[in-house]
Amino acid sequence: MGIIVAVQYACESPAVLPTATLFTRWVKTTLQHPSLPLPSLGKVEGLNNLPNDVVDSRRRSKSKSKVKPRPRWEVTIRIVGEAEGRQLNQTWRQRDYPTNVLSFPFDSPPGPDLPQLGDLVICAPVVLREALAQQKTPESHWAHLVIHGTLHLLGHDHQETAQAELMENLEISILTQLGYPTPYE
């Protein structure tokens, strides 16, 4: 199994931000979660030709085996300030304000099967304000947003009620596995 997480700190006060080790733990736990439905992988370009043992291990999520083969993935997380967060949200979503997390799934060109899953851009000031307003620890809110963004990279969405319920249940399960409280109470 190979999961590479590159973290870019592009804002002030990186000392109060989660470490690269925490970001990596959150992404890895999400990608390795046994209840992650196989169909979400089919939406990721380049992952349609998974080896049979990977596909079978996903389908046998109730298996006793603790070792579940996974393809190699690469994720980049960029931590930004409000100006860059606002500019990216305006450019990609036509919304003139910084948002907490933006997900950019990698669209693999024809040819070699590349391991990139995509990029997450997280606006640190927004995350910290939301954590305070929602009376959550900053770390648990960071974990939630990284998990949320990673699920988007895998093709999950929350535009419709059924999709939102599935995504929220996955987030709760992953956060619980990591020892964090549910964000939806």
Percentage of residues of the chain with pLDDT beyond 90:
61
Alpha-carbon dihedral 28, 33, 37, 39, rounded to 10 degrees: 20
Over residues 99-125, the mean pLDDT reads 88
Per the structure, the complete domain to which residue 20 belongs is given by 3-178
Model confidence at 70, in pLDDT bands (50, 70, 90)? Answer: very low
185 part of a folded domain: no
In contact, 128 and 138? CB cutoff 8 Å = yes
Residue 32 has pLDDT above 60, yes or no: yes
108 part of a folded domain: yes
Cα angle 124, 130, 133; round to 5: 145
Mean pLDDT, the chain, whole residue set: 81
The reported pLDDT for the residue numbered 185 is 76
26 part of a folded domain: yes
71 part of a folded domain: yes
Instruction: Give the CATH number of the domain where residue 12 resides.
Output: 3.40.390.30
Model confidence at 66, in pLDDT bands (50, 70, 90)? Answer: very low
Residue 113 has pLDDT above 50, yes or no: yes
Measured between alpha carbons, how far is 31 from 29 in angstroms, rounded to an integer?
6
Model confidence at 58, in pLDDT bands (50, 70, 90)? Answer: very low
- As for how many domains the chain has, the answer is 1
The reported pLDDT for the residue numbered 150 is 95
Cα angle 155, 158, 162; round to 5: 100
pLDDT tens digits, 126-176:
999 999 999 999 999 999 999 999 999 988 999 899 999 999 999 999 999
97 part of a folded domain: yes
